[in-house]
Structure 1
Amino acid sequence: MAASPLAPADNEPPPRRRRLRAAMTALFWGAAALVLAVSLLGGGAEPPADNHVPHAPPAVSAENSVAPRSEKSAPSPAATAPSRPAPSAPAHKSMPRSAPVRLLVPKIAVDAPFTDLEVGASGQLQAPPPDDTNLVGWFAKGASPGEPGTAVVAGHVDTKTSPAVFARLSELKKGDRFRVVRKDGSKAVFQVYDKDYFDKDDFPDDRVYADTPDAQIRLITCAGMYDRAAKDYTENLVIFARLV
């Protein structure tokens, strides 16, 4: 599951993100092009960089122009009408940070616990244990599900002996909902808004991993043909969803 880190943004993030960015930069930025790929045999995975995507500034109303007028002329409507305040940016629904404990996707019969995924000695994000058929992992140094930003969740499509937790992930469609039970006791409800397949050699890092102002999540697994020589699948399936 898929690809090189994104370049740091120019805008300065909040303190927690500055600390996270520093840690991520130390871990990854020396690499030219690392590949994120969870394979049938439990290959490693490269996490997204914790970039901050600045919010779009609110629209600003143009000032009302006042045309010169003589003493006998009546004031123009534009001159007397009060100026309208600039519209504010829409508020994004989000939750405070809390680690996920269980993923519930009733449509595809997923009821699975989470495990933290961390960077291993190879410089790649470690995959969930390859022989556990009912386990998902999340990039623990990134956004938590429900928190503003992009949470990354990975799971195997199968193991050596049987289908695994994300064997039916391809059945999810736009509008489908699923839940993440969080450590603080709350439940984050997400709705799918997109689904796509990407060749592992041409994975769109920015589309999948770029930070977002609202709370979003990516469910990622392997797809495509199984390459026996490479001992890996040729594609990744990515489910895009946002907090509702």
Structure 2
Amino acid sequence: MSPILETRGLSRSFHGLRAVHDVDFALEAGEIRALIGPNGAGKTTFVSMLIGRLAADAGQVIFEGRDITALPDHRRVALGMAYTFQITSVFSRLTAAENVALAARRRLGGDRAAVAREVATALERTGLAGQGEVAAEDLSYGHQRLLEIAMGLAQHPRLLILDEPTQGLAETEIAAFKALVRDLAGQTTILLIEHNMAVVMELAHRITVLNFGEVLAEGTPAAIRADRAVQEAYLGTEAAHG
């Protein structure tokens, strides 16, 4: 099988400084892959090129066998990619249900009954069923993050990219999030950018580690945990900070 998402030689520099350099990456369909690395490793730049918010200097982004390197972000969404931002991007004055409905309409058009069903399902799955009529700006930060995920789910993506999804969540909400990701694993492919290493080690099938804009290591959670180079570059720092 071909990977659902692939990069070949993907590179980007800013003012002569290499942010991402010659990254080859392949994500298999149905996989939960975690992307980790220290601050400044190039994760945000790499993901921004995946979703079309940042142009690559060199290399290719391939989605389901199609070269999408030149496509803008909204065209990539239409092809089946959904992305939740590290900084919440909901419409603050709309209710939670209205936010999800906007996302659902991208796929379902004007079918109001179908949109309403999709909204109810997405809010239920993310633990927000009782928050549908609350304005997004009145939700807690953690619930705004969950609302972003609900908006992503409503699009029925073939690839769901989750950027720091547990940031701001309480422990009980993190437990519910992990259950949701496990449930989703049979329906969509997930790329998880996450600093919470307990979440990463528990959920990911495989982990890719970026450092100084390059792939430092890739493998199963057990292999990554045992990798001395990863320990020195990242995991040792993470352990020191709890």
TM-score higher than 0.5 here?
no
Structure 1 length-normalised TM: 0.28
Structure 2 length-normalised TM: 0.28
Larger Rg: 1
1 or 2 for the larger relative contact order (CA 8 Å, sep ≥6)?
A: 2
